[in-house]
Structures are given as C-alpha cells and as structure tokens.
Amino acid sequence: MNIPAIILAGGLGTRLRQVVKELPKPMAPIGGKPFLHYLFRYLKAQGIEKTILSVGYKAESIREYFGDHYDGISILYMEEEKPLGTGGGIYQAISLTDEMAFVLNGDSFFDVNLKELMDFYQETKADIALSLKPMKNFDRYGTVTLNQQNRITGFAEKQFRKKGLINAGVYLMSRDCFRKIEEQQDALLPRKFSFEQDILEKHLRFLRLAGRVSDGYFIDIGIPEDYERAQNEFTALFK
C-alpha cells in the first residue's frame, strides 16, 4: 500500500522498568528481537513500504538497530525533544505524510488487516477509523460504543466489565484532522497532548469517528505480565 504507517515509539516504559531496564518499550526484547521488529514484520506482510517512527526516550537505540531501512521498509524519524504525548507525537509525524496515515502504538500489537481497514475508512467517509477489539472480563482498558452505522458514539473510562469493545490503538486517519480541529476552535493545538483524550474524546461530536470491530490477536506489553506472555505467544505467531 502507498500509505505510510506512523509508529509511536517515544514512550518511557516506566511500568516495564523492573524487567526491561534502560530501553524504550518498543525495544523490549522478545525471543532475542526487539518488540518493534515484530511490528515491522507485520507491516511488511500488510504491504506497507514506508514508516515514520515518532521517537523520544533513548531514540538512539532505535536508530542504531533499525537504521533508515528495515526488512524492505523505509524509515523516517521524527524525534521529540521533550515528550509530546500520543497526540503531539502523531501531530508532528503526520506532517511528513501527503494525505493519510496508519497509526500504531509501538508497545502493542493488534493483528488487523490494514487493507480492510482502508476500505472501511473510505466506505464510512471517516476522519479517523479505529480498530476495536472485543474483550471479556477486563478492567485495564476503557470501552467504546458504536451505533448501527459503525459510528463511534462514546468512550467510557476504565472499570471492570464483563464484555466490551476497546480501542486497540490501530488507526487510519486523514492528515487534515488536526487542521479541521484548529479551524473549528480557532486556536492551534498545544505541542503536547493526548490523542485519545484531547482528540478522540473531546471532539467526538465534531469528527467522524468510525469503529471497525476485529477479533484478531491483541497484546499490550506495557505491564510485565503481558510482556512475559508475549515471550511465549510470539514464537508461534511469527514463525
């Protein structure tokens, strides 16, 4: 696909410090390879040819390992001098794109078909298409509600739920989203902000947010328990 993928790889990884020291979360080793290696394998299988890495904490370790090309995928780096949050990271990185971009978190993996997400984005005429994962018996994530037209109608805070849909952190979005918001509020967005709270939740009624449900494999290595689970499950997933 001729659409680039932005990978948010600037997090500090504070919750993983007890098991992964002195590394950004996307560089946490799994089976002798950084977690980010597996994201590149996934993107290559999806036909992605260009990535933009939004990096910050210990960015040099990512640059040294992956360089400007990795596994046939070109890499541009957008470095955060200070942490910008998920929103600031995307805002800065998407300026390097022409029209639209996929966005992925550098510390989670959701096995979704990006071509199908692109088709869904176009069919729904969305500003942002979100990949949603159905889950059961969880309290670690907030939930998302949809109407019958797959339009996102609400976001709920974290609490225990027997079942629900979560935002799994894989998006396709227009570069113009941020400009539309700035024009609507007649003010520039701050340099540092949360994409989830300050864009998706705050501008839910203004933006056209569409949610595509997929029950593919999902893991977030942000906590030691799931990082350890990835050590076993990625062996089978990425043969």
Tens of pLDDT, residue by residue over 51-91, are: 999 998 888 999 999 999 999 999 999 998 888 999 999 99
Q: Which residue has the higher pLDDT, 81 or 113?
A: 113
pTM for the model: 0.94
Question: pLDDT tens digit string along 127-140?
Answer: 999 999 999 999 99
101 near 52, Cβ under 8 Å?
A: yes
- Residue % of the chain over a pLDDT of 70: 95
pLDDT of residue 177: 95
pLDDT of residue 57: 82
Structural domain for 58, as ranges? 5-237
Residue 188 phi/psi, 5-degree rounding, is -75, 150
Using the 8-state DSSP alphabet, how is residue 206 labeled? T
Q: Is the pLDDT reported for residue 239 higher than 80?
A: no
CB atoms within 10 A of CB 63: 15
166 near 133, Cβ under 8 Å?
A: yes
Burial of 195-231, coded b for 16+ CB within 10 Å and e otherwise, reads bbebbbbbbeeebebbbbebeeebbbbbeeebbeebe
Averaged pLDDT score across all residues of the chain: 92
Question: 153: domain CATH number?
Answer: 3.90.550.10
pLDDT of residue 23: 79
Which phi-psi region, left, alpha or beta, contains residue 82 (left: φ > 0; alpha: ψ -120 to 50)? beta
Question: pLDDT tens digit string along 151-197?
Answer: 999 999 999 999 999 999 999 999 999 999 999 999 999 999 999 99
pLDDT of residue 222: 81
pLDDT of residue 168: 96
> 3-class DSSP state for residue 184?
helix
pLDDT of residue 33: 92
Beta-carbon contacts of 9 under 8 Å, excluding residues fewer than 6 positions away, are: 24, 25, 26, 36, 53, 54, 55, 56, 62, 106
Q: pLDDT-derived band of residue 18, with 50, 70 and 90 as boundaries?
A: low
The tally of domains found in the chain comes to 1
In angstroms, the CA 188 to CA 167 distance is 26
Q: Over range 111-127, report the average pLDDT.
A: 97
In angstroms, the CA 107 to CA 233 distance is 15
